[in-house]
Structure 1
């Protein structure tokens, strides 16, 4: 029984990693599982959201510049 058990264990030890490698490298599985999950977690940005973000950044930049300008005038 010892040799048969060792052969069976060796087959399992070699088959499992090869099978996992083969399954994980299937393009259909990768597309359906990984890419879809990524899109659920981080949806693509919409153009109006990008525009709002740029406007907000510009507003904050102008406020910061005005504050620095007032601080520079007061210290002079």
Structure 2
């Protein structure tokens, strides 16, 4: 029983990191999932926001 458990543990320890690396290196998944969520979390700045920020910087100087 002990040898089978050790073989299972070693298989798990080797398979999990390889599987995670394989999943993370999929370009389609990265483009569809990660980039989409990045756009949702940090939407692109608008031109008027950039102007207000620049005015604020000038006022602070």
TM-score after normalising by structure 1: 0.60
- Following the alignment from structure 2 to structure 1, what is the Cα–Cα distance between the partners of residues 24 and 51? 39
Q: What is the CA distance between 1:53 and its match in structure 2?
A: 4.4
Where relative contact order (Cα < 8 A, 6+ residues apart) is larger, the structure is 2
TM-score after normalising by structure 2: 0.71
- Give the match for residue 34 of structure 1: 34
Gaps of 5+ in 1: 65-76
Deviation by residue 1:3-37 (Cα, 9 ceiling, x = unmatched):
11111111011000110111011111111221111
- Following the alignment from structure 1 to structure 2, what is the Cα–Cα distance between the partners of residues 57 and 44? 19
Deviation by residue 1:32-64 (Cα, 9 ceiling, x = unmatched):
22111111111112334434544x348737xx7
Q: Which runs of 4+ in 1 moved over 2 A?
A: 45-54, 56-61
Gaps of 5+ in 2: none
Q: Give the total of aligned pairs.
A: 61
> Greater CA radius of gyration, 1 or 2?
1
Superposition RMSD in Å? 2.3
